[in-house]
């Protein structure tokens, strides 16, 4: 197929991928639970992301439904007219029975069907008895339909299992986006990638039916933390995206994707990086917002390796944090340093983190702090399997964004 005949895709810069992906997942799960669409049996289908439309469902080579998803704050239908017109004109792989749906995250002043000049109809997608689904509702709806599937198929149902399935299914969609990205970088056009690389419903069913993988409370806590953190970042993007520049939206989207898609990122590590001087840290909206604001102040996307950070060489790495410090007041500075030292000494994970990222970039600080004579204890195993404790001294700084910028020269 000639590439110029393929639908346009924006998959390489899909800023609202999390909400759109969840809506696509919700509709796919509904098809699996119902086993039918428009009173016709649907026993196997393909989910296509961001090609024919924001997502589309294919059955026997035909797009049986196309879906456009908008997570805008506006309650005025007029704000969506261009997008509705675009949705009504989707033709690729459609036939006379294809349904065109429009999803919104907010209640509108008019939910009547949109009809274009060629009599093509776009329906606002209905969630139970309402025609919108807020960001705060989507996870609840996903959990509900997951529970329905598990009950219908006589599978075990617990809060842990539902969270695990939801996380694995979300990662399935994220991996497809990453796979598409890798294909784009290998030479395929993004239109080709998005059109041909689809998720078969069997992949979703396999995850639904597989035995529980995570059994420990700590793993449940890790999954829950990751889900909550991603939701906070996505809500931040949703609520203020009209106030941000395209570059700022790109920075936040990069961080969101990295946290959502990175299986190796331990929740304890990202927790410690946000608020390293706090013990028994509880996730807080303001702390996460302060953390994100550091990246926005830098104005460029961070390095997304191991954990989001900046660096100017192999030795000096700069770790954004949510720290707010009155460094100019000696007593307050001394109290902060003592608290930080104690937390590092009691938290081996944090000790290793700040040993590698030796410059903590504060969200707010009225001066820079030099914290000297820190120690990192490393366990080394010799050839006789004996463990030796090696103490490595290092210096740690807590600095402002402007100080970090001057050393890194990021702009």
* pLDDT per residue as tens digits for the range 367-377: 777 765 555 54
**pLDDT value of residue 396:** 82
Q: How many CB atoms lie within 10 A of CB 264?
A: 7
| DSSP states of 258-320 | HHHH-TT--HHHHHHHH-TT-SS----HHHHHHHHHHHHHHTSPPEEESEEEEESSSS-EEEE
The per-residue pLDDT for range 58-93, each reduced to its tens digit, is 999 999 999 999 888 889 999 999 999 999 999 888
Highest mean pLDDT among 180-194, 282-296, 328-342: 282-296
CB–CB of 327/366 below 8 Å? yes
pLDDT at 96 exceeding the cut of 90: yes
Q: Is the pLDDT assigned to residue 183 strictly greater than 70? A: no
Are the C-beta atoms of 396 and 360 separated by less than 8 Å?
yes
- The tens digit of pLDDT for each residue in 311-350 reads 887 668 999 999 988 877 888 888 888 888 888 878 888 8
pLDDT mean over 116-136: 93
With both helix axes pointing from N to C terminus, report the angle between 246-261 and 217-240 in degrees, rounded to the nearest 10.
170
Higher pLDDT, 206 or 52: 206
Mean of the per-residue pLDDT values of the chain: 82
Residue 281 pLDDT greater than 60, yes or no: no
Q: What is the mean pLDDT of residues 304-313?
A: 88
Sign of CA dihedral 211, 215, 218, 224: positive
**Better-scored residue on pLDDT, 51 or 244:** 244
Which pLDDT score is estimated for 319? 94
Residue 373 corresponds to which tokens in the numbers above? 């004579």
Displacement of CA 3 from its chain's centroid (Å): 30
Mean pLDDT of 101-123: 94
The three-state secondary structure class of 317 is strand
Q: What is the mean pLDDT of residues 211-225?
A: 73
DSSP 3-state of 115 = strand
Residue 379 has pLDDT above 90, yes or no: no
- The DSSP code sequence of 165-226 is HHHHHHHHHHHHHHHHHHHHHTT--HHHHHHH--EEHHHHHHHHHSPP---SHHHHHHHHHH
């Amino acid at each position: 197929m000639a590439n110029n005949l393929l639908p346009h895709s924006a998959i390489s810069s899909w800023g609202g991928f999390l909400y759109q992906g969840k809506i696509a997942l919700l509709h796919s799960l509904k098809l699996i639970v119902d086993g039918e669409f428009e009173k016709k049996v649907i026993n196997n289908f393909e989910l296509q992301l961001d090609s024919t439309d924001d997502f589309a469902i294919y059955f026997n080579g035909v797009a049986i439904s196309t879906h456009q998803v908008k997570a805008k704050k506006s309650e005025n239908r007029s704000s969506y007219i261009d997008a509705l017109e675009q949705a009504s004109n989707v033709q690729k792989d459609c036939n006379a029975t294809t349904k065109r749906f429009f999803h919104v995250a907010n209640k509108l002043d008019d939910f009547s069907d949109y009809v274009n000049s060629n009599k093509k109809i776009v329906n606002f997608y209905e969630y139970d008895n309402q025609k919108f689904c807020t960001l705060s509702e989507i996870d609840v709806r996903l959990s509900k339909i997951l529970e329905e599937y598990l009950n219908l198929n006589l599978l075990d149902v617990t809060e842990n299992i539902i969270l695990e399935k939801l996380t694995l299914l979300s990662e399935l969609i994220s991996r497809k986006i990453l796979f598409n990205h890798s294909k784009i970088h290998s030479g395929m056009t993004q239109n080709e990638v998005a059109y041909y690389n689809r998720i078969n419903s069997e992949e979703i069913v396999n995850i639904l039916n597989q035995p529980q993988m995570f059994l420990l409370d700590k793993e449940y806590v890790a999954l829950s933390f990751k889900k909550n953190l991603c939701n906070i970042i996505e809500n931040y993007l949703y609520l203020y995206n009209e106030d941000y520049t395209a570059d700022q939206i790109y920075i936040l989207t990069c961080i969101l994707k990295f946290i959502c898609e990175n299986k190796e990122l331990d929740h304890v590590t990202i927790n410690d990086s946000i608020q390293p001087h706090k013990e028994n840290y509880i996730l807080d909206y303001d702390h996460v917002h302060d953390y994100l604001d550091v990246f926005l102040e830098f104005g460029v996307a961070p390095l997304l390796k191991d954990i989001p950070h900046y660096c100017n060489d192999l030795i000096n790495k700069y770790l954004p944090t949510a720290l707010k410090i009155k460094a100019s007041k000696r007593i307050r500075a001394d109290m902060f340093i003592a608290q930080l030292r104690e937390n590092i000494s009691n938290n081996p994970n944090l000790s290793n983190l700040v040993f590698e990222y030796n410059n903590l970039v504060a969200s707010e600080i009225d001066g820079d702090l030099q914290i000297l004579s820190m120690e990192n204890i490393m366990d080394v195993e010799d050839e006789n399997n004996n463990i030796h404790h090696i103490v490595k001294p290092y210096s740690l700084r807590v600095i402002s964004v402007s100080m970090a910028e001057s050393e890194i020269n990021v702009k």
